[in-house]
């Protein structure tokens, strides 16, 4: 199949269709082609975009690829890889901005909807927290540590130091399971209990701990409420 844009009728080219009908009508390959602008010898931008999606496993797989890997993809190079990486990061930041506009984050599903796109594509385990003010409004989201595919080290002192610098009254912990297994491990439960007790000592309440695996998430406050009791 020939994916050269110059062989497509002008009215059917991605950029022209975007201006006439809006970006929502374009396929994933066409949207990527608009970002890439040009292809490579013997293959247009749509073809390069199509092959990139196919080899990376679609948009979800593409979001997992680091910019240093994108540079080596056929037809990309540093400039195009940087453009794609920047576009993906803007999408993540947009999700964070939308989270901030939702007002009070006193229900786990409000944070869970943000954390799934933020974490589901990560190849390694990431541990972080959402800092909230006394009215449970978002202050900042912190990716605190990045570990291996199985663990991410957690420095409780650093966590609460950053939370206190934020002026946070409470935090919602989060981490992902790249394995796709949603169930919390014994270490996850013990860490949650330890941090909840530590937060009580410094005046920063640990409100919840969310675990993300692929497109699913679980609230430990809901499934294991005793972990958050400072007297247990």
Q: What is the pLDDT of residue 21?
A: 80
Model confidence over 32-52: pLDDT tens digits?
888 888 888 888 888 888 888
Quote the CA–CA distance of 28 and 201 in Å, as a whole number: 49
Residue percentage of the chain with pLDDT more than 90:
30
What number does CATH give the domain 5-93?
A: 1.10.150
Question: DSSP characters for 136-176?
Answer: SBEEEEEEEEE--SS-----HHHHHHHHHHHT-SEEEEEEE
Burial track 84-96 (b if 16+ CB lie within 10 A, e otherwise)? bbeebeeeeeebe
Tokens 């927290």 belong to residue: 129
Burial track 63-80 (b if 16+ CB lie within 10 A, e otherwise)? bebebeebeebebbeeeb
In the chain, where the domains are located: 5-93, 103-228
Q: What is the pLDDT of residue 103?
A: 59
At the top level of CATH, the class of 103-228 is alpha beta
Q: What is the mean pLDDT of the chain?
A: 83
Q: Is the pLDDT of residue 10 over 50?
A: no
Map 210-228 to HEC letters. EEEECCEEEEHHHHCHHHH
Q: What is the pLDDT of residue 104?
A: 65
Quote the CA–CA distance of 72 and 207 in Å, as a whole number: 43
Q: Is the pLDDT of residue 229 over 60?
A: yes
pTM above 0.85, yes or no: no
More confident call, 19 vs 110: 19
> Is 103-228 in the same CATH topology as 5-93?
no
Q: What is the pLDDT of residue 102?
A: 60
The band of 210, judged by pLDDT with boundaries at 50, 70 and 90, is very high
Q: Reduced to 3 states, what is the DSSP secondary structure of residue 183?
A: coil
Task: Report the DSSP beta bridge partners of residue 145.
Answer: 127
Name the phi and psi angles at 70, rounded to 5: -60, -35
């Amino acid at each position: 199949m020939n994916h050269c844009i110059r062989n497509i009728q002008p009215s059917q080219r991605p950029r022209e269709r975007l201006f006439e009908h809006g970006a929502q009508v374009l396929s994933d390959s066409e949207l990527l082609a608009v970002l890439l602008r040009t292809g490579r010898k013997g293959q247009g931008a749509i073809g390069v975009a199509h092959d990139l999606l196919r080899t990376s496993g679609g948009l979800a797989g593409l979001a997992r690829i680091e910019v240093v890997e994108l540079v080596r993809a056929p037809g990309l190079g540093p400039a195009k890889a940087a453009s794609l990486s920047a576009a993906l990061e803007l999408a993540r930041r947009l999700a964070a901005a939308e989270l901030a506009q939702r007002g009070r984050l006193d229900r786990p599903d409000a944070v869970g909807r943000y954390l799934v796109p933020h974490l589901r594509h990560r190849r390694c385990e990431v541990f972080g927290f959402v800092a909230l003010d006394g009215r449970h409004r978002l202050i900042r989201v912190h990716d605190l540590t990045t570990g291996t595919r199985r663990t991410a080290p957690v420095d409780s002192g650093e966590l609460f130091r950053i939370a206190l610098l934020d002026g946070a009254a409470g935090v919602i912990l989060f981490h992902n399971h790249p394995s796709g297994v949603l169930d919390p491990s014994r270490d996850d439960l013990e860490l949650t209990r330890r941090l909840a007790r530590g937060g009580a000592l410094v005046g920063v309440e640990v409100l919840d701990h969310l675990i993300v695996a692929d497109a699913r998430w679980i609230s430990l406050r809901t499934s294991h409420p005793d972990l958050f009791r400072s007297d247990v």
